[in-house]
Amino acid sequence: MSEFFTKYFPNVWNLREDILISTYETIYMVVVTSLLSVLFGILLGVTLVVVDRGGILENRLIYSVLEKIINLFRSIPFIILIAVVVPLTRLITGTSIGMNAAIVPLVIGIVPFYARQIQNALVEVDPGIIEAAQSMGSGPIEIIFRVYLKEGLTGIIRASSVTIINLIGLTTMAGAIGSGGLGSLAINKGYNRFQSDITIVATILILILVFVCQFIGDYFTKKSTH
């Protein structure tokens, strides 16, 4: 095994510990950002749906304000967003470099995208079902938790797996602020030092992560469809 690596991937064998750490860092960033984004994204997505025209808590003002904020953040390229939110990053994490610091721009970058996906998933819920729930005396909270989030579950799962795959892409860019992870490994150790075997291995590892997420997402999508 090690002979094969020393022959064809000499640098990979030498930097095997770095590769493991980078993989861990990427997974860490993806998991923590995902958890936070699911929380904020669903909150925001649900809010968009219920305050929209004809929604159960219609409020045009809140809707247009939220929509503008989301559009604004979605328009900023992520690599620039990282730099723009540095003051906030410092405020929250006390530092502007490293894994934890990267989570702040990652959450800000992914939540608007995810919220839109959630909104799209929830507007797919048949308005007739919402109306039926209202006719049975369900209040807004009950409709959100017992109807929207339940009936829209398949869409939410699909949106989540798309978002997480997107997020894996963003974590590689977070290397720009020294977040670590497979992205910065591929650039700093692979590309900049002409160790292309490192770049290839980093790429393969990221692809594996993406495939695993896709697989899990598909599995749960299928399971939640009746």
Partner 1 sequence: MITLSNIQVTFETGSQSVIAVQDVSLHVDAGDVYGIVGYSGAGKSTLVRVINLLQRPTAGSVEVNGQDLLALQPKELRSARKKIGMIFQHFNLMNSRTIYDNVDYPLKSSKLSKSERDQKVKQLLELVGLSDKLNAYPSQLSGGQKQRVAIARALANDPEILLCDEATSALDPKTTLSILELLKKLNQTLGLTIVIITHEMQVVKEICNKVAVMEAGRIVEQGDIVSIFSRPQNTLTRDFINTATHIDRTLEKLTLHPSLVHLKDNDMLCKISYIGDSTSEPVISELTARYRVKTNILYANVEILQQTPIGNLIVVMSGSTSDLKEALHYLQAAQVNVEIIDSGLLQNSKVGDPV
State which residue, 188 or 224, has the beta carbon closest to partner 1. 224
Please tell me whether residue 54 binds partner 1 under the rule CB under 8 A.
no
Minimum separation from the CB atom of position 33 to partner 1 (A): 28
CA-closest candidate to residue 143, choices 50, 44, 39: 50
Q: Toward partner 1, which CB reaches closer, 54 or 94?
A: 54
Q: How far is the CB of 127 from partner 1 (least distance, A)?
A: 9
Q: How many residues bind partner 1 (CB under 8 A)?
A: 21
Instruction: Supply angle C-alpha 38, 41, 43, rounded to 5.
Output: 100
φ, ψ at 132 (rounded to 5°): -60, -45
Nearer to partner 1, 80 or 132 (CB): 132
Give the Cα separation of 59 and 166 in Å (integer): 31
Tokens at residue 56, please? 């159960």
Helix 153-173 and helix 16-51: axis angle, to 10°? 140
Please, what is the minimum distance in Å from the beta carbon of residue 164 to partner 1? 22
Q: Which is nearer to partner 1, 156 or 174 (CB)?
A: 156
Residue 208: what residue type? I
Q: Closer to partner 1 at the Cβ: 107 or 133?
A: 133
CB 52 within 8 A of CB 41: no
H-state helical runs in 59-152: 60-75, 78-84, 86-93, 99-123, 127-135, 140-142, 149-151
Say if CB 199 and CB 43 are below 8 A apart.
Answer: no
53 scored as a contact of partner 1 (CB under 8 A): no
Residues 101-160 that bind partner 1 (CB under 8 A): 126, 128-129, 131-139, 142, 146-147, 150-151, 153-154
Query: ∠ CA 224-225-226 to the nearest 5 degrees?
Result: 115
Q: How far is the CB of 222 from partner 1 (least distance, A)?
A: 13
User: Least separation, in Å, of the C-beta of 139 and partner 1?
Assistant: 6
Distance of closest approach, residue 190 Cβ to partner 1, in angstroms: 46
Query: Is residue 82 part of the contact set for partner 1 (CB under 8 A)?
Result: no
The site for partner 1 (CB under 8 A) is made up of 126, 128-129, 131-139, 142, 146-147, 150-151, 153-154, 224, 226
